[in-house]
């Protein structure tokens, strides 16, 4: 994704165009109009009298609406354009576009206005080079309608383009022939409807819309969403714009699934992951509990409904396992890709338990805790029965699906992400350090749920005993004595995969680190090899595979840093938590308030600005939620029985932060923070 690409979205429906509003993409391009993992428009090109249009400016009106100001041909400083072209585009239920042309000349002009239209109905995995088309295309032209379709057995998708303003339709688009008087304007509206058809020709997307949504409906919904969120007031410049941008982007990423059409949960990110991704959705919910807890109920419901029930090598499914990803595209429908759903992740299952417990701690809503008792027990059983592949007490991963399965089944999924210090790749199965922290935390939280809500103290005692044993074992086997840090992973032989990486910051969040070792971990996290000045790198600069724009081997990930900052607060490293929050929020300012999925790990003094990762998703849910978790960290927000504890840790430069109307089990509470003199570094 590049800066000259313009994006609008509404749930899982989104459009990516160039700066003039056009779409003309190669098979591997992420541009086009998408819904439910299918590209419904791959060509959408406007010309006037055969000339392409050049952009003057783009107005980002709402997340679901934008407006392009254009002129024919390349604009120059020597020739004044005599014609203005406006394209106002929105995605409500489907795509709508209104064209307006204004003649600035003193004489009439004859115009041929042409829109080239096409659809390849590409599956997202096809665009990424992982699938191929096997069905048939068809096209129908009916008066003011152009219907493009794709059929493969019972799988059907259709794009219907409707233009009722006198356009001449053909199988490649439509044309208006207009004479525009001097100083006059002309406009026309176009609609693009997308159909996800089942074997009986029924459009299953209709189940997701309650009546026919309007632009006003979306505006009212956004206003209500923002009104429900806590109100932020601060004199620290990097924070207000980013806070507002995060709330708006979270609203944009909400979507309804076909399984639960009446509730919304967060899609992972645009363009590749506008879908339910278990780990991403769980992390986003953890980030947003103090701000938008309503996202969590739908996420837990969906993940519970599709919890693994059997051994299925193709889908990497196991009883009790939480899904990694759920897709609706062609490759999933025909089992060419295992994503209907796919379970290839080792961390989603313990994170599911953590989220349910955290939700109750914030909201006091014990209904879900009681409703999902069996699902939590099954998830905890998975940790010991199926997660422990070698019987040594560690959660490991090794793909059952050796063809299309994910190799590294943790958040660092790149093929080279889990590596030794010298660059070698470890043998399978692998046990990464952060997953052991999640498993420890899940057992501790499961014990609380069992004791307080399920009336099962024996089970609670057992879980606490297992957690203590895991903590002791982990601190023996993962601790690298000669470097005083935690190894990235253990390989199949139990040897330490000794790369210095950001993963160990998650251990502070999980609480598996003894207090006497925390300072060593923090010294590495904030040291020059890992900390860039903007954030903690995924891999230290002195490791063989380090690359500042390596996806998981040197780039900086905002969500990773937010979790680390919260862990630093847990262990009392307030100044260091502030350092990470400050770097992240200052970086966000340079991205227009929107943190991307990842950005380069270059030293801050080298570039003076953060360098965006070339193919980073934006907006992306857990990056959008990262500023909210950072705000929680610097204000020290923690639920405590039936009140909200607030322990701010702010330097003098910040002045004052007020976060008002924080909803939770306490009702509504306010948090205040004042800047204080600089902290002395922890030894």
Do 577 and 656 lie in a common domain? Answer: yes
Do 269 and 359 lie in a common domain? Answer: yes
Taking alpha carbons only, the member of 86, 62, 87, 68 closest to residue 10 is 62
Neighbours of 336 (CB within 10 A): 18
Q: What is the pLDDT of residues 584-610, one digit of tens each?
A: 999 999 999 999 999 999 999 998 889
Residue 280 resides in a domain = yes
Query: Where is average pLDDT lowest: 208-217, 441-450, 587-596?
Result: 208-217
Query: Where is average pLDDT lowest: 270-279, 459-468, 533-542?
Result: 270-279
- Using CB atoms within 10 Å of the CB of residue 54, give its burial: 0 to 12 exposed, 13 to 18 middle, 19+ buried: middle
229: which residues sit within 8 A by CB, 6+ positions away? 247, 291, 292
Residue 213 resides in a domain = no
194: which residues sit within 8 A by CB, 6+ positions away? 13, 33, 35, 40, 94, 95, 157, 158, 159, 160, 205
Residue 218 resides in a domain = no
Q: How far is the first Cα of the chain from the last one, in angstroms, to the nearest whole number? A: 43
> At 25, which CATH number?
2.70.98.40
Q: How far apart are CA 399 and CA 401, in angstroms?
A: 5
Strand locations in 74-215, DSSP E? Answer: 83-91, 95-103, 109-118, 136-142, 145-152, 155-162, 168-170, 173-180, 185-197
Helix boundaries (H) for 169-260: 215-228, 238-253
CA separation, residue 451 to residues 323, 369, 442, 444, 461 (Å): 27, 12, 14, 11, 9
Taking alpha carbons only, the member of 168, 192, 170 closest to residue 178 is 168
Residue 683's pLDDT is 45
Q: Are 242 and 593 in contact (CB under 8 A)?
A: yes
Do 284 and 180 lie in a common domain? Answer: no
Q: How far apart are CA 283 and CA 560, in angstroms?
A: 10
Domain count, the chain: 2
For the chain, percent of residues with pLDDT exceeding 90: 84
Do 203 and 254 lie in a common domain? Answer: no
Do 382 and 287 lie in a common domain? Answer: yes
Q: What is the pLDDT of residues 481-512, one digit of tens each?
A: 999 999 999 999 999 999 999 999 999 999 99
Residue 208's pLDDT is 66
Query: Which run of H or of E encompasses 368?
Result: helix 367-371
> At 658, which CATH number?
1.50.10.10
pLDDT band at 166 (very low <50, low <70, confident <90, very high): confident
Do 503 and 646 lie in a common domain? Answer: yes
**Secondary structure of 314-359 as H, E, C letters:** CCCECCCCCCCEECCCHHHHCCCCCCCCECCCCCHHHHHHHHHHHH
Residue 187 resides in a domain = yes
Taking alpha carbons only, the member of 150, 149, 125, 154 closest to residue 331 is 125
Q: Containing domain of residue 145, as a range?
A: 6-208
Do 640 and 509 lie in a common domain? Answer: yes
Quote the Cα angle for 74-80-81, to 5°.
60
Residue 479 resides in a domain = yes
Residue 673 has, within 13 A of its CA and on its CB side, a CA count of 27
Q: How far apart are CA 191 and CA 65, in angstroms?
A: 14
Do 505 and 384 lie in a common domain? Answer: yes
Query: Which run of H or of E encompasses 46?
Result: strand 43-48
Do 202 and 236 lie in a common domain? Answer: no
Residue 269 resides in a domain = yes
| Region 229-249 average pLDDT | 95
Do 191 and 243 lie in a common domain? Answer: no
pLDDT band at 5 (very low <50, low <70, confident <90, very high): confident
Q: Are 44 and 50 in contact (CB under 8 A)?
A: no
pLDDT at 681 over 80: no
pLDDT at 209 over 80: no
pLDDT band at 682 (very low <50, low <70, confident <90, very high): low
Residue 276 resides in a domain = yes
Asked which of 208, 238, 266 is the last residue of a domain, the reply is 208
pLDDT at 236 over 70: yes
Residue 80 has, within 13 A of its CA and on its CB side, a CA count of 4
Residue 272's pLDDT is 84
Beta bridge partners of 161: 146, 192
Q: Are 174 and 167 in contact (CB under 8 A)?
A: yes
Q: What is the pLDDT of residues 29-81, one digit of tens each?
A: 889 999 999 999 999 999 999 999 999 999 988 999 999 999 998 766 555 78
Residue 353's pLDDT is 98
pTM of the complete model: 0.94
Do 478 and 521 lie in a common domain? Answer: yes
Residue 559's pLDDT is 98
Residue 204's pLDDT is 78
Do 181 and 304 lie in a common domain? Answer: no
Residue 281 has, within 13 A of its CA and on its CB side, a CA count of 32
Residue 329 resides in a domain = yes
Taking alpha carbons only, the member of 117, 106, 194, 206 closest to residue 150 is 194
Q: Are 138 and 152 in contact (CB under 8 A)?
A: no
């Amino acid at each position: 994704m590049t800066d000259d690409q313009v994006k609008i979205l509404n749930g899982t429906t989104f459009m990516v165009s160039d700066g003039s509003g056009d779409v003309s993409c190669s098979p591997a391009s992420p541009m086009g109009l998408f819904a439910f993992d299918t590209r419904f428009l791959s060509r959408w090109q406007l010309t006037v009298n055969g000339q392409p249009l050049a952009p003057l400016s783009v107005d980002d009106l709402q997340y679901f609406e934008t407006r392009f100001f254009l002129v024919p041909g390349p604009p120059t400083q020597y020739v004044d354009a005599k014609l203005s072209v406006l394209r106002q585009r929105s995605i409500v239920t489907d795509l709508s576009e209104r064209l307006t042309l204004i003649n600035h000349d003193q004489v009439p002009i004859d115009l041929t206005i042409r829109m080239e239209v096409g659809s390849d109905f590409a599956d997202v995995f096809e665009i990424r080079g992982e699938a191929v088309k096997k069905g048939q295309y068809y096209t129908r032209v009916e008066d003011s309608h152009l219907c493009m379709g794709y059929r493969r057995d019972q799988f059907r998708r259709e794009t219907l383009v409707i233009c009722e303003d006198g356009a001449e339709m053909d199988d490649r688009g439509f044309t208006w022939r207009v004479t525009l008087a001097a100083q006059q304007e002309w406009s026309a509206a176009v609609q693009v409807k997308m159909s996800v058809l089942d074997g009986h020709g029924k459009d299953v997307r209709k189940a997701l819309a309650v009546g026919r949504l309007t632009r006003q409906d979306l505006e009212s919904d956004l206003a209500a969403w923002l009104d429900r969120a806590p109100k932020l007031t601060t004199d620290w410049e990097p924070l207000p714009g980013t806070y507002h941008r995060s709330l708006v982007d979270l609203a944009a990423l909400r979507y309804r699934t076909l399984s639960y059409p009446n509730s919304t949960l967060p899609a992972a990110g645009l363009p590749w992951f506008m879908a339910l991704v278990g780990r991403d959705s769980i992390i986003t919910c953890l980030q947003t509990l103090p701000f938008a807890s309503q996202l969590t109920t739908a996420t837990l419901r969906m993940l519970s409904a599709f919890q693994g029930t059997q051994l299925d090598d193709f889908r990497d499914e196991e009883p009790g396992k939480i899904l990694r990803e759920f897709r609706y595209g062609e490759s999933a429908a025909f089992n060419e890709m295992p994503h209907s759903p796919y379970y290839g992740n080792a961390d989603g299952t313990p994170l599911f338990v953590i989220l349910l417990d955290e939700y109750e701690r914030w909201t006091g809503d014990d209904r879900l805790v009681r409703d999902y008792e069996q699902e939590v027990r099954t998830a905890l059983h998975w940790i010991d029965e199926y997660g422990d592949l070698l019987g040594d007490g560690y959660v490991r991963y090794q793909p059952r699906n050796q063809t299309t399965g994910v190799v590294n089944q943790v958040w660092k999924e790149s093929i080279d992400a889990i590596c030794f210090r010298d660059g070698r790749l470890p043998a399978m199965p692998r046990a990464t350090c952060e997953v052991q922290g999640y498993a420890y935390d899940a057992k501790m939280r499961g014990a609380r749920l069992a004791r307080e809500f399920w009336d099962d103290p024996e089970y609670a005692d057992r879980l606490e005993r297992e957690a203590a044993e895991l903590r002791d074992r982990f601190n023996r086997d993962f601790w690298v004595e000669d470097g005083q840090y935690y190894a990235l992973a253990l390989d199949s032989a139990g040897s330490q995969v000794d790369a210095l990486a950001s993963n160990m910051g998650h251990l502070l969040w999980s609480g598996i680190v003894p207090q006497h070792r925390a300072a060593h971990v923090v010294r590495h996290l904030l040291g020059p090899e890992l900390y860039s000045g903007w954030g903690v790198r995924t891999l230290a600069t002195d490791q063989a595979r380090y690359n500042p724009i390596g996806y998981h081997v040197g780039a900086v990930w905002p969500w990773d840093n937010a979790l680390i900052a919260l862990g630093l607060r847990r262990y009392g490293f307030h100044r260091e938590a502030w350092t990470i929050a400050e770097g992240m929020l200052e970086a966000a300012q340079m991205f227009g308030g929107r943190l991307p999925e990842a950005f380069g790990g270059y030293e801050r003094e080298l570039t003076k600005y953060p360098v965006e990762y070339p193919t980073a998703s934006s907006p992306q849910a857990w990056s959008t939620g990262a500023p909210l978790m950072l705000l929680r960290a610097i204000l020290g927000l923690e639920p405590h029985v039936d009140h909200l504890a607030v322990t701010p840790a702010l330097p003098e430069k910040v002045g004052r932060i007020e976060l008002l109307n924080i909803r939770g089990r306490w009702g509504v509470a306010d948090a205040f923070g004042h800047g204080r003199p600089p902290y002395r570094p922890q030894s």
